[in-house]
Amino acid sequence: MIKVASYNMRKGIGLDRRRDPGRVLAVLRELDADIIALQEADRRFGTRASAIPPHMFEEHSDYVPVDLLHGRPYAIGWHGNALLVRRGAAVEESHALHLPTLEPRGAVAATVRIGGTRLRVVGMHLDISGLRRRQQARAILHHVAEGEKLPTILMGDCNEWRRTGGCLADFGAEHRLVDTGHSFHSRRPVAKLDRIFASPDLDPVDAGVHRSPLAARASDHLPIWARFKAI
């Protein structure tokens, strides 16, 4: 059984407008997932340093950031996207993906082995424009199709307010949309902006939105999660 999660952490800035990386790490510990996709994981300007200093993962969590960009010791992500794996998981390869857009956007992918299961994970944060979202979804799906055939999980902030159509239809053509629930806004969740998709060779056992007093304050999004077993 593998548990994955996705979390738009809003650069570590909570609803109280304080940047508190320790609070975000506490939410990640509550999630207790094997693999986590983060969005808005870095500061927007300058060196785009991680909103959570990298040393804090080692000191205060059981997670290791996937190495996406060599030579940037203060950063863990690519245009705000990052992947975390539980300590002991084997990361066989990783990729920072360029996405078509007018503003800096990207996605991240990794091949991970956890126990006896080997899978591909993609984390993403798509555009607010519906046209751009569909172009970005197709770019991500092209990357998946060009790679090794593996059980695959796609997850992140899709910025899609509709229940069907658009990029959801693109991802859903060959991947199952897992119903996790409403994750935005954390104060009063009314939208399913955050999504998890899985290839047919992964069976979703359960899924949901992580609701806790801490998560309700730590970001404007609530984390989503799902558990899978390989078919």
Nearest 5°: the CA angle 60, 5, 158 is 125
pLDDT tens-place string over residues 84-98? 999 999 999 999 999
Does residue 72 carry a pLDDT above 80? no
Q: Do residues 159 and 132 lie in contact, with contact meaning Cβ atoms separated by under 8 Å?
A: no
pLDDT at 109: 98
pLDDT tens-place string over residues 149-169? 999 999 999 999 999 999 999
Sign of the dihedral through C-alpha 165, 224, 107, 151: negative
CATH architecture observed for domain 2-230: 4-Layer Sandwich (3.60)
pLDDT at 48: 75
Does residue 46 carry a pLDDT above 70? no
The helix/strand count (H/E) of the chain reads as 5, 12
**Pairing state between β 82-86 and 35-39:** antiparallel
| b/e per residue 84-102 (b: at least 16 CB within 10 A) | bbbeebebeebbebebebe
Give the residue extent of every domain in the chain: 2-230
pLDDT at 101: 78
pLDDT tens-place string over residues 122-149? 999 999 998 999 999 999 999 999 999 9
Does residue 116 carry a pLDDT above 70? yes
Q: 18 exposed, middle or buried (CB, 10 Å; 0-12, 13-18, 19+)? A: exposed
Residue 16 exposure: Cα atoms within 13 Å on the Cβ side: 9
- The pTM of the full predicted model, rounded to 2 decimals, is 0.96
Nearest 5°: the CA angle 70, 91, 136 is 70
Q: Do residues 171 and 154 lie in contact, with contact meaning Cβ atoms separated by under 8 Å?
A: yes
Tokens 């992140």 map to which residue?
A: 156
pLDDT at 75: 85
DSSP three-state, residue 108: strand
Distance CA 117, CA 111 (A): 11
